[in-house]
Chain A
Amino acid sequence: MKYFVLLAAQGGDRGPWEELSPVEQESDMAKHGEFAEACAEREGVELIGGEALGEGRTATTLRTKDGELVITDGPFAEAAEQIGGYYVVEAPNLDTVIDLCRTLPPYDIEIRPILDLG
C-alpha cells in the first residue's frame, strides 16, 4: 500500500524551518538522509517520492464556490501553514511507516493511505 506522509511543524518539538539554526538545519537534513536509507533497507518498502515545500505564505488557494473559481492568497487552513514537505512511501502496513518515521526530525506527521483508484 502507498502512504502519504505529511510533515508539519506545529505543536511538537520542532519549530518552522526558517527558525532553526544552521546546525539544527544540518541535523534535520541528515535525518532525512537516514530516513531514505531506512526506507531502502526495509523489506517491502520503497520511497516513491517526496519534496520540501515553500512556506505557507507562498501558498495560493483555489476554491470553487457557486461554480466559480475563487483564488486567494495563503494556505487553505491555518493549520496547513506549517506544512514543510511530504513523502510518498510504499510500505506493507501502517506500523512499518510509523517505525520509519521515527528517524525523521520531530515534525507533527500525518500519515494517510493513498487510495488505489485504478
Chain B
Amino acid sequence: MLVTRTRRLDLAEGALSEAFARAAARWPSAGVPDNPGGWLYTTASRLVAGRIRAEAIHGRKAQLLAVDSAWVHPPGPERFDELADERLTLILLCCHPALHPTSRSALALRLVIGTPTSQIARLFLVSKSTMAARITRAKKKIIAAKIPLSRPTDADLKLRREDVCRTAYLAFTAGYTPGQGAQLLRADLAGEAVDLAAVLHELLPAAPDVRALFGLLLLQHARRDARTRGGRLVTLDEQQRSLWHREEIERGLALIASVRPTAGYVESLRLQGAIAAEHARAAEAAQTNWVQIAALYAELETLTRSPAVRLNRAVAIAEAQGPRQGLAVLEGVDRAMPNNHRLPAVRADLARRAGDLVLARRSYARAMELCANEVERAYLAERLDEIGRTNAR
C-alpha cells in the first residue's frame, strides 16, 4: 500500500520495517493502538515523506518508480480499507512474470506480508545475504525495465491471477519441501504463504483459481502440527488427527467444493484440493477413500503429465487395490525422475508390503543415497532396519 501511495518501492520497504520495529518497541509499554494497521501505515508514511524531503535537500537523484505528488498527502488510517485495490496492484507487481519465480515469491512475502528477509531465506533454504541480493535484484529489474505499478485491465488480471497463484503456491510448497541437513519442515513459514493466499482471497473472493488455491493451502496447512513429532517426520497415516486444525479444514472443504471442474491450472489446484479434502474427511487413516483419491490422481496425471503425480497415484492404487498393483504403476517412471529419492522410497515401501524384501532393501538403500534431508533419511534407515530384522528371524 505504501508503495503504491508513495511510488517509492525503495523507501517504502525500509520504512515499513522501521515502523514494525518502532511498534515492537512501543506497543508492549504504551499499549497496542486501536487500529494497529493504520498506526503502522501512518508511521511508515511519515518516514517515507521524511526520507524524500531529506533526499530533495541533498539533491540526490534516487531511483524512482515514478514520482507523483501523492506522498505529500498520505491517507489517514480511516482510508485503510479503500486501499484494497492498491494492495492488489502491489501483489501483481511482485508476481509479474518478467521476474524470476523465486524472486516473485520472495518479493510478495517481503512487501505484501512483511516477512523479514531472514525468514524468507530460511523458507527457500538460502543464506540471508543470497536472499537479500535476490530481492534487491528483483527490485532493480522492476525499476530498470519499468515494470508498471498499475491496475491491469480485467482481461489482463485474469491472465495474471495465475502468476499470482503460482507465486503463492511456490512459497507454500517451499515450506513443506524438506530441505537439506537438519532443517525440518518449515511449516511456520509456509503459514506466511497461507497469509498471502488469504489476502488474495480477500481481494478477489469470486476468482475460482484463488478459491481453489486458498482452499488447498488451508487443507494442507491444517495438518502442520501433526506432521512432525520429536524431530521426526510423521506420515499421513500415522498422524494424530486431533492435532489437525478443524476450522481451517471446514473452510478449505467449503472453498474446494465451491470450485467447478474446469481445465488448466485452476483444475490442477482444484484436484489437489479435492485430494486433500478426501484425507481431511477421514476421521481415521483407515477410513480414507483411496478409490476416490486414486481416481482424482488419475485425472491430475492426465492433466499435468507429471511423474510426481504418477508416484502419488501409485501410492493411492496400492492402498485401494494392493501393493503389487501400486508397484505396477511405478513401471517406467525411473527415466522421468532419475535422481529423486521419493521414487525408490515409495517403491521400497510398496515392495516391503508386497513381501519382496530384496527389492525393498535395494530400494531403501538407493533412496537413502539420494535423500539430502536428515529427518527423512533417518526415517528411511529405520524402515530398512525393520526389514533387516524381519529377515534375520
Contacts and interface: CB of A to CB of B under 8 A. Distances in A.
A33 interface: no
A93 B92 CA distance: 15
Contact of A113 (B146, B152, B156): B146
A89 to B, nearest CB: 12
Nearest to B92: A95
A16 interface: no
B7 to A, nearest CB: 13
A92 B144 contact: no
- Category for how many chain B residues contact A: under 10
Contacts of B150: 93, 95
Contacts of B23: none
A1 B148 CA distance: 12
Contacts of B148: 92-96
B339 to A, nearest CB: 25
A105 B192 CA distance: 41
Contacts of A99: 156
Nearest to B97: A98
A113 B144 contact: yes
B144 A93 contact: no
B358 interface: no
Interface string B120-164: 000000000000000000000000111110101000100000000
Nearest to B98: A94
Name the 10 nearest CB pairs between A and B, nearest first. Answer: A93-B148, A93-B146, A94-B147, A94-B145, A1-B146, A113-B145, A95-B148, A113-B144, A94-B146, A94-B98
Interface of A: 1, 92-96, 98-99, 111-113
Interface of B: 98, 144-148, 150, 152, 156
